[in-house]
Structure 1
Amino acid sequence: MKTAVRIWVTLFFTFLPSHVLANTLVSHCRDYPPEIYFNGKKCIGILPELVEDILAELGHDNEWVYAPWIRSTKEAKRGNVDLLIRHSMTEERISFLKPIKYAVEKRILFFYKSKSFTSDITSYDDLKNVSVGAIRGIFYSPSFSKINTDSLTLVGRTEQLVGMLEMERIDVVVSSTSHNGELFESKFEKATFEDTFLNYLYISIPRKSKAIVLYDDIARVLLKYRKTGKINQYYQKYGVSIPYQDFSEIEHIQR
């Protein structure tokens, strides 16, 4: 009798849908306070708390791994990470990520000038004949994405851009509040031109990840948090303005 029960239990769990069983997901964390950052060995912030509560509601655990965005995209393409949080969506990213929208923000790009660059920047046309610094792999705006890459100097960290602008090795850098713009604010003159647009923000599951079977469940709970206003409490806790919610649920690919 006991043997029969064990066999029945084994068969029961074997044929349960994978999304019913508890999983430990691997999520990537990077330093982008107050929305997401590491404090010691713990990933904290608005979005880590939001994600952990959603996963806990669904009966799943989560493990945070520190990874710069470039590494995250590489691992996502291989299916070696389960969740990427706080990012925009582009045509290239949609090929390997399945996104869940959680907010919309107004993003403003600023352009800071080296001391030797005396001209002003009043439009994207003015950037055609100058050297522009930017962070590699980062989405800035649909218009900035159309810049001729021959005029761009790409680096891995914002601090490198600060140093290059101080040494006058480049003429202009692009930045925003989403890209450590405060590091340039007190040191360099800001150009007249600003690029303003609506930036849709996502939490995504890589299409090759084992967690893709959880997509519908995670999307359903996140949508519930947004529609009930529960998502607002995470922003309020960190003293951050509550973002706008767009419930069209159409995937907005920034072109």
Structure 2
Amino acid sequence: MMKQGIILLVILLLLLRSNVMAEKIVFAIVEDFPPYQYVEKGQATGIDVDVLREACKQLGLDSEFRVLPWKRILKNAKEGRVTAIPSLLYKEERTTFLYFGTEPTHINTDSIMARKGSSIKVSKLDDLKNKVVGVIRGYSYGPAFDSYQGLKKEICDDHSVLIRILNKGRIDMAVASEMPFRFNCKKLGLQDRFETVYVISQHPTYTGFSKKALGKRGEAMAEKFSKMLRQLKANGFFQKTETKYLR
């Protein structure tokens, strides 16, 4: 009788343990996309990492951030080896293997930046004629800007070079994705030197959840995260996290 009681107790404890163990969401991120996701001192960090880790905590989920090359991220999501991909542009072809939530993780903004006090005003691309504008090699800023013929472009290898020559006055303006630009300004101690004078384009990005990994639960999971993202924006956590990386 006692033996049966012990067996029942062990079974009960195992059942309780399985109920207590939280589901883990494995996010696949890239190594170098600051300030959203990057690796520092061997650890995944960035705005996406902090926000999604907090979202998981609030939802009673465990989180893991796995750093992978971009092509492997997509492949692993298709195969169900990872649960989710943050900071994705919505594309119809991606809906074949991912569920997208309704709330953006963040908005990518491509802007024209100038030195504060320069008196530069831009209301349309034609205002850039005869100005020297810095761009980053290999980047696209949308078809309207990329195909515009009236520009004198100074091509830079990375954000740090772009920011330095703008600060020294060697170019009139710089075109960049605004958040990475501001993140690199902070690293260089130049975070208060520049201002946005024109917004070229804005694109919302989302967290996509693997259909293979989650099955039919994925759609509900995507919406749970959307709801939590809205809460984190409403209660100030999102804005506080952005400030941490940009100021």
Q: TM-score range by the shorter chain?
A: 0.5 to 0.7
Q: Deviations over 1:4-40 (max 9, x none)?
A: 34445556777x6xxx841233222221112211013
| Residue number in structure 2 paired with 1:93 | 94
| Residue number in structure 2 paired with 1:103 | 106
Residue 73 of structure 1 aligns to a residue in which SS? helix
Following the alignment from structure 1 to structure 2, what is the Cα–Cα distance between the partners of residues 85 and 224? 17
- Displacement of 1:60 in angstroms is 2.6
Following the alignment from structure 1 to structure 2, what is the Cα–Cα distance between the partners of residues 218 and 91? 20
Alignment of 1:122-201 (within 5 A): 141=142, 176-177=176-177, 196-201=200-205
Go from structure 1 to structure 2 and tell me whether the alpha carbon gap of 1:12 and 1:239 turns closer, same or farther (over 3 Å shift). Answer: closer
Q: 1:227 aligns with which of 225, 229, 234?
A: 234
- Displacement of 1:96 in angstroms is 1.6
* Residue 78 of structure 2 corresponds to residue 77 of structure 1: yes
* Residue 25 of structure 2 corresponds to residue 25 of structure 1: yes
Following the alignment from structure 1 to structure 2, what is the Cα–Cα distance between the partners of residues 36 and 9? 39
* Residue 40 of structure 2 corresponds to residue 49 of structure 1: no
- Displacement of 1:72 in angstroms is 1.1
Structure 2-normalised TM-score? 0.56
Count matched residues: 173
- Displacement of 1:50 in angstroms is 0.9
Long gaps (5+) in structure 1 = 110-121, 123-132, 148-157, 160-174, 182-193, 241-255
Go from structure 1 to structure 2 and tell me whether the alpha carbon gap of 1:140 and 1:224 turns closer, same or farther (over 3 Å shift). Answer: same
The answer (yes or no) to whether the contact 2:35–2:47 under 8 Å persists in 1 is yes
Go from structure 1 to structure 2 and tell me whether the alpha carbon gap of 1:21 and 1:237 turns closer, same or farther (over 3 Å shift). Answer: same
The answer (yes or no) to whether the contact 2:35–2:179 under 8 Å persists in 1 is no
Structure 1-normalised TM-score? 0.54
The answer (yes or no) to whether the contact 1:86–1:203 under 8 Å persists in 2 is yes
- Greater fraction of residues in helix: 2
| Residue number in structure 1 paired with 2:222 | 215
Residue 205 of structure 2 aligns to a residue in which SS? strand
Following the alignment from structure 2 to structure 1, what is the Cα–Cα distance between the partners of residues 205 and 246? 19
Long gaps (5+) in structure 2 = 113-125, 127-136, 148-156, 159-174, 182-197
| Residue number in structure 2 paired with 1:165 | none
The answer (yes or no) to whether the contact 2:44–2:65 under 8 Å persists in 1 is yes
Go from structure 1 to structure 2 and tell me whether the alpha carbon gap of 1:6 and 1:56 turns closer, same or farther (over 3 Å shift). Answer: same
Go from structure 1 to structure 2 and tell me whether the alpha carbon gap of 1:66 and 1:227 turns closer, same or farther (over 3 Å shift). Answer: same
Q: Deviations over 1:178-216 (max 9, x none)?
A: 7989xxxxxxxxxxxx99332011122112123836434
- Displacement of 1:236 in angstroms is 0.8
Residue 199 of structure 1 aligns to a residue in which SS? strand
- Displacement of 1:231 in angstroms is 1.1
Following the alignment from structure 2 to structure 1, what is the Cα–Cα distance between the partners of residues 230 and 83? 19
User: In terms of Rg, which structure is larger?
Assistant: 2
| Letter in structure 2 aligned against 1:85 | P
Go from structure 1 to structure 2 and tell me whether the alpha carbon gap of 1:75 and 1:99 turns closer, same or farther (over 3 Å shift). Answer: same
Following the alignment from structure 2 to structure 1, what is the Cα–Cα distance between the partners of residues 240 and 221? 24
Go from structure 1 to structure 2 and tell me whether the alpha carbon gap of 1:64 and 1:104 turns closer, same or farther (over 3 Å shift). Answer: closer
Taking every aligned residue pair, what percent have the same amino acid on both sides?
Answer: 20
| Letter in structure 2 aligned against 1:104 | I
